Amino acid sequence: MKLNWLRKPSEKIVQRGRPFIAFQIEPTTRCQLKCVMCPKTVYTDDWLTGDMPLSVYEKISRYFHLIQRVHLQGWGEPLLHPNLFDMIQIANSENCLTSLTTNGALLAQDMSEELIRKGVDTVAISIAGAMRETHENIRRGSHFDHLIGNIKTLANLKFKMRSKTPLIVLSFLMTKTNIEELPEAVSLAKDIGINEVVATNLDYVPKKAQDDMKIFSCNKADINFKNYIHTAEKRAHQLKMPFRNYPLELEEVIVCEMNPLHIVSLSFDGCISPCIYLNIPSRGLISRIFCGKHYEIERQCFGNLEESDFMEIWTGTPYENFRKVYQDRLNILKKIYSDIGGTFHNLSGVEKSIESELLENPLPEICRSCYKAYHI
C-alpha cells in the first residue's frame, strides 16, 4: 500500500513545479485472494465491492497536469479493472509517472507485454515468503510457483523488448511467520529479475489476529527480527540488490510518508481522502489496534467526485483544516532549523525543542492511532 518506494527516476521527464507528488487511485476493491492480514478478508460481510467508473477517473484526470505520479492501487487488485490500460494511457498523456501494486496472479504474458508497451514506470509485486508454504499460508489463494513464473515472464519480456521500464519491485510483507525467510527472498529476487526489494510492515492492524502477526514494536523490537533484517541487508549488498526496510520501532514523524500535503487518495467510489488508511471501503467504522488499544474511526471522505469538482473539495474548509495541522508541524521544523542557521552543534537541544513544539501541535486525532504517523 506504500508510495515511498516509488521514488526511482524513469525515462519520463516529469514537469517541474507540479504541486502534487501523487494521486493514489483505487481502480477496484475486488481481489481474487483472501490474504489473512487484508481488511477485505477481515471485513468480508461489510466490504464495499466495486470498480471505479472510467467517468470518475476522467474527472480526476483533469488535474493530472498538476501531479507527478499516478499510483493505481488501493485495497483491491488493480489488474482486475477492465479499463486499467485506459487509465494508464490517460496518465501517460499528461506526462505523469505511472505505477501499480499487484498480487501478481494475473501477470501472464499478454498482461505483462501490455504493461511494458503502455510504459508503466513501476510494478510492485507482493510476496509473503521465500517458500511456497509460507507465502500461501499468508496470501491465501495465491500460488507461489505461478507467481514466481509470472515475475520471470515480466522480467524476461522487459529484456526481450529492450525496455528500461517497468522497475520491478518485490514487496515483502514482514510477519512473525516469514521474517526468517527475508534473506532468502533477497536471493530469490536476484534470481528472477527483480530490480529492488522492499521489506514492509503490517502497518494496518484491524484485529488481534493481525496484531499478533506484526514484528514491529511499540517499545523495543525483538533482536532476532532485527538480525534477520540485518542478514537480508548484507545479502542484498553482496548481490548488489537495492534493498530497503521499514523500522521496527515507533518514532513520531512530522509528516508521514503518505504526506497529505501533497498526496491525495481517491477511492473506487469517488471519495477524496488524505490516504488509504483513512479511506477503507467498509460499512461502518474503521477498526484498528494501536499499541494494544482498540480504536474505531469514521471513514474520512472530504468530498465525492460524483458530486463535486476536485479543486472544490481540496480547497474546502474541512480538508484545508486537516492539512493545516501538518503544515503547522512542518513550519515548526523549518523555523527551528532557520533559527539555528543550519548548524547542528547542539543536536540534542534541537531534538528537545522539536519535541516540545510538537507536544503543542499534535497530530490530527484520527492519525494518532495510525502506525504510518510513527514511521512504521
> Per-residue pLDDT averaged across 292-319, rounded?
96
What is d(CA 293, CA 69) in angstroms, rounded to the nearest whole number? 35
Query: Omega before 166 cis (within 30°)?
Result: yes
Least confident of 2-11, 22-31, 218-227, 328-337: 2-11
Classify strands 286-290 and 196-200 as parallel, antiparallel or unpaired. Answer: unpaired
> Per-residue pLDDT averaged across 360-366, rounded?
92
Task: From 99, 102, 375, 114, select the one nearest 256 (Cα to Cα).
Answer: 375
For the segment 159-191, what is each residue's pLDDT rounded down to a tens digit? Answer: 999 999 999 999 999 999 999 999 999 999 999
Residue 50 predicted with pLDDT over 80: yes
Q: Is 169 helix (H, G, I), strand (E, B) or coil?
A: strand
Average pLDDT, the chain: 92
Are 202 and 157 a contacting pair, CB within 8 Å? no
Task: From 305, 316, 314, 298, select the one nearest 266 (Cα to Cα).
Answer: 305
* pTM of structure: 0.91
Q: DSSP label at 249? A: B
Q: DSSP label at 284? A: S
